[in-house]
Copies of this chain bind each other. A is one copy, B any other.
Amino acid sequence: MDPEVEDIRVAVSTVIFSLRTPRPGDAPAVVLPLVKRTRDPFEGLWALPGGWLGACEGLDAAASRTLGETTGLAPSYLEQLYAFGAVDRSPTRVVSIVYWALLRPEEVSDVENVGWFDAADLPRLAFDHNEIVDYALWRLRNKVGYSRIAHGLLADEFTLAELREVYEAILDRKLDPANFRRQVDTSATLIPTDRFRTGSHRPARLYRYNRDVELADRGPLSRSPETSVR
Chain A residues with a Cβ under 8 A of chain B:
1-10, 51-59, 62, 69, 80, 82-87, 93, 95, 97, 131, 134-135, 138-139, 142, 219-221, 224-226
Give chain B nearest CB distance to A72 CB in angstroms: 16
- What are 22 A-B residue pairs whose CB atoms fall within 8 Å in the complex? A3-B55, A3-B56, A5-B9, A5-B52, A5-B54, A7-B55, A8-B55, A10-B10, A57-B87, A58-B87, A59-B83, A59-B86, A59-B95, A62-B85, A80-B82, A80-B83, A83-B83, A85-B97, A86-B225, A86-B226, A95-B97, A135-B220
B138 touches A219 (CB 8 A): yes
Give chain B nearest CB distance to A138 CB in angstroms: 4
Q: Are A131 and B220 CB-contacts (below 8 A) given A5-B53, A58-B87, A86-B226? A: yes
Q: Is the interface of A mostly helix, strand, loop or mixed?
A: mixed
Q: Are A85 and B56 CB-contacts (below 8 A) given A10-B8, A138-B220, A219-B138? A: no
4 pairs of A and B residues whose beta carbons are closest in the complex:
A138-B219, A59-B85, A134-B220, A83-B83
B residues near A1, Cβ cutoff 8 Å: 51, 69
Give the docked Cα–Cα distance between A224 and B128 (Å).
Answer: 10
Give chain B nearest CB distance to A143 CB in angstroms: 11
B residues near A8, Cβ cutoff 8 Å: 9-10, 53, 55
Give the docked Cα–Cα distance between A55 and B54 (Å).
Answer: 20
Give chain B nearest CB distance to A112 CB in angstroms: 17
B residues near A139, Cβ cutoff 8 Å: 219
Closest to A58 in B: B86
